[in-house]
Amino acid sequence: MSSKDFGLTGEGEELIKDCNRLGLIVDLAHASRRTHLDVAKLSVLPFINSHSNAKAVYDVSRNLDDELFELVRGKQGVVGSIFGTSMVGPKKDVDSLADHIMYVYEKFGGDILALGSDYFGIIDSSVTKGVEDITKMQNLFGVLAKRGMGKEDIEKLAYKNSLRVIEKNAERWK
């Protein structure tokens, strides 16, 4: 990521328009703050950030601030919570990951939530303890249920919200 935040170039704006025309999902993981802002103004379809967490819970550059979560929600997109410990926090456990998810859930609702494990892309840190692989997802779902998240919202987090975004973008293919 560049130390300067330029946002979208003219070519980038054309790319977003083309993606919308074709029904391709725009993923802003690794994109700058200003790029998020630019895409939110330009995109007519839901976009995603496939793997980030909440800056309010753990302040690192790749995590999103509340304004960016609001922009994704406003476009009916999703943010996938990432399991890499460098973005979860110092405790590096499933409870810390749940802190991020519950923060977003309580502040922005259940429709913005998704899973963005990044199991195959985590290179700068380890995987959060308790969700080391897909067989341990029930650990996370159990913690979220104990904290008050209902079954319907856990299902949204697990797959329904992502499926909704895919279907909304796919309408352009018809």
pLDDT in tens, 106-158: 999 999 999 998 887 776 668 899 999 999 999 999 999 999 999 999 999 99
- Answer for the pair 49, 70: CB distance below 8 angstroms, yes or no: no
pLDDT in tens, 66-117: 999 999 999 999 999 999 999 999 999 999 999 999 999 999 999 999 999 8
How much is the pLDDT for 123?
Answer: 66
pLDDT at 63 over 80: yes
Residue 114 backbone phi and psi in degrees, to 5 = -155, 170
pLDDT band at 174 (very low <50, low <70, confident <90, very high): confident
pTM of the model: 0.94
Q: Which domains does the chain have, with CATH numbers?
A: 48-173 (3.20.20.140)
Pick the closest to residue 162 from 100, 108, 114 (CA basis). Answer: 114
HSE of 56, CA atoms in CB hemisphere, 13 A = 15
pLDDT in tens, 6-50: 899 999 999 999 999 999 999 999 999 999 999 999 999 999 999
How much is the pLDDT for 54?
Answer: 98
